[in-house]
């Protein structure tokens, strides 16, 4: 359901994992100010790449995998920056503007990807994400079969995802035999 864009289901997942991820991230970054930035980044990845939550064998493990990836990535970047700045008692600050600019950039790329969808796919996607219509409602409104609508939504998400991978926002698929749900 999440893969089809069900926001309520994702919301439940968000509140379910928040209490577990937050202290784990804190144990690694050790700075309160950064934790929420990373939590947002992690859940943003999970949402934009939501197909995985359905495809993978263990959604729970996938969630932690992304959490480790974003957190360790940030720690690596920080370490590189600290070395460059030669700070010895490195106070780490949450650079709010940086976070906002990165978020704005992701948002812009998503809108770009949406604009590039073929016309029918774009209409289906708009009805689903902007008007909040369910797949059956869209099928009725546009005179398409339910299956066509579902497939279109999945393909649209994939197209957006691929666009984001191409621009270095999302992570590329490293493993091919990883995604089999028996």
Partner 1 sequence: MTIMPNENRLNYLLVQVREGKATSAEYGELRDMLYADQSGEMVAQATSFFSGEEEVITEDARYRHMLQQILAIDKPTIVYSSARRPLLRIAAAVLLLIAGAGLYFILQQKQPVHQPAIAQIQDVAPGSNKAVLTLADGSVVTLDSAGNRELQQGNTAVKQLGGQLQYDVQGNSGNTSYNTLTTPRGGQFKVKLPDGTMVWLNAASTIRYPTAFVSNERLVEVTGEAYFDVAADARKPFLVKAGNGTMVKVLGTAFNINAYTDEESLNTTLLSGAVQVSRGTSTVLLHPGQQARLTSKMEVVDNVDLDKVTAWKNGVFNFEGATLQEVMRQLQRWYNIEVVFEKDVPSIHFFGEVSRDMTLSGVLKTLEESGVKFKIEGHKLVVTP
Site residues (CB under 8 A) for partner 1? Answer: 7, 10-11, 14-15, 18-20, 22-24, 27-28, 30, 33, 36, 39-40, 43-44, 47-48, 57-58, 61, 64-65, 68-69, 72-73, 75-76, 79-80, 83, 96-97, 100-108, 110-112, 114-116, 122, 125-126, 129-130, 160, 166-168, 171, 174-175, 177-178
Find the shortest distance in angstroms from Cβ 134 to partner 1.
16
Calpha distance 110→32 (Å, rounded): 29
Whole-angstrom distance, CA of residue 95 vs CA of residue 24? 21
The residue with tokens 């009805």 is: 127
Kindly give, in sequence order, each residue whose CB lies less than 8 Å from that of residue 47, ignoring residues fewer than 6 positions away: 10
As measured in angstroms, the least distance from the Cβ of 144 to partner 1 is 18
Nearer to partner 1, 1 or 104 (CB): 104
Which residues contact residue 51 at a Cβ distance below 8 angstroms, ignoring those fewer than 6 apart?
A: 3, 154, 157, 158, 161
Using the minimum distance from each CB to partner 1, give the nearer residue, 24 or 151: 24
Give the number of other Cβ atoms within 10 Å of residue 143's Cβ: 7
**Shortest Å distance, C-beta 139 to partner 1:** 19
């Amino acid at each position: 359901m999440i893969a089809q864009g069900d926001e309520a289901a994702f919301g439940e997942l968000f509140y379910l994992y928040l209490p577990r991820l937050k202290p784990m991230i804190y144990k690694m970054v050790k700075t309160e100010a950064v934790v929420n930035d990373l939590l947002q980044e992690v859940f943003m990845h999970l949402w934009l790449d939501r197909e995985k939550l359905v495809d993978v064998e263990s959604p729970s493990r996938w969630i932690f995998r992304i959490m480790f990836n974003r957190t360790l990535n940030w720690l690596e970047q920080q370490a590189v920056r600290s070395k460059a700045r030669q700070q010895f008692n490195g106070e780490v600050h949450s650079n709010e503007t940086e976070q906002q600019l990165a978020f704005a950039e992701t948002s812009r790329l998503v809108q770009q990807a949406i604009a590039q969808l073929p016309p029918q796919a774009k209409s289906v996607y708009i009805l689903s994400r902007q008007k909040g219509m369910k797949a059956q409602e869209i099928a009725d409104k546009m005179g398409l079969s339910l299956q066509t609508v579902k497939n279109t939504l999945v393909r649209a998400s994939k197209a957006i995802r691929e666009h984001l991978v191409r621009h270095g926002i999302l992570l590329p698929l490293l493993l091919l035999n990883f995604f089999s749900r028996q």
